[in-house]
Amino acid sequence: MFFMVKRFLYCIVLVITAIMLVFVTNRSCAQTTLQLKISPIGFHFFNEPNKKLYENKIDSNATFVLEPCVILGVETYLVSDILCFRANFGGLSDAISKPGLFLQAGLKVRMFQIYRNSLSFGAGLMGYGHECWGTVPNYQDERGWAKNGSWEYSVGFLADLEYAIFLNDKSDIMFNITYGYQKKTFNFTIGYRYWLSSIIKHPIKCGSCPFTKTNNKWKK
């Protein structure tokens, strides 16, 4: 199991590294963005065997837990301004105050857009890692984790809804409801998106979208 997880994580790292190198070396970064998101709280609505160990719980049932998280991301559009590939890397202090990391790669599709407001849905694969919980007294083993030294790793999936507000040609503000930054955990994030270039490669004509044509190029 460990070797499969390890190889899977290596594959994700290699793919994302290759894609980011293309971004850096390619002269044209049209429809490519960099993102920074933060999330202070994790929402644990499921029954979990180690909830009693959550040090930073806000309520007695450990449904709301302080789990500060920072996410760095990159997106590039594949189909018009509707479908994009994205990759995220994040770090956090988890429910029992252990350091954790995650790596995500997937797709995002815009569901609808009204002027400068848009709603999108995204999904993808996740690779998790955190410092071993087994050193904590009264810890109950959880399935699906592979230990490597003082850390343990697992794989999973992520899904989220994103509401974005286009501020200007280079900037958006994002609000996300996400499942999957940690297993069995929801997060609400707020973030900032910077467009390396907002030129639309293949725009779709519409009557209300916030795109203008300048120098024969479509922009936000």
Q: Which of 29-38, 130-139, 151-160 has the lowest mean pLDDT?
A: 29-38
Q: Which of 26-30, 38-42, 199-203 reaches the highest mean pLDDT?
A: 38-42
Taking residues 132-148, report their average pLDDT: 91
Which pLDDT does position 27 carry in this prediction? 43
Give the per-residue pLDDT at 199: 75
User: pTM, whole model, 2 decimals?
Assistant: 0.79
Cβ 191 vs Cβ 214: under 8 Å: no
Contact 127, 141 (CB under 8 A): no
For the segment 81-97, what is each residue's pLDDT rounded down to a tens digit? 889 999 999 999 999 99
Average of per-residue pLDDT across 152-168? 95
Torsion 38-41-45-49 (CA) sign: positive
| Domain at 2-219: CATH code | 2.40.160.20
**140: Cβ–Cβ under 8 A, 6 or more apart, which residues?**
49, 50
**Domain boundaries in the chain?**
2-219
Half-sphere exposure of 12 (CA within 13 A, CB side): 23
Place of tokens 């790669």: 105
pLDDT at 220 over 90: no
First to last CA, the chain: 46
**Any idea what DSSP says for residue 203?**
P
**Single-letter amino acid, residue 77:** Y
Rounded Cα gap, residues 23 and 33, in angstroms:
10
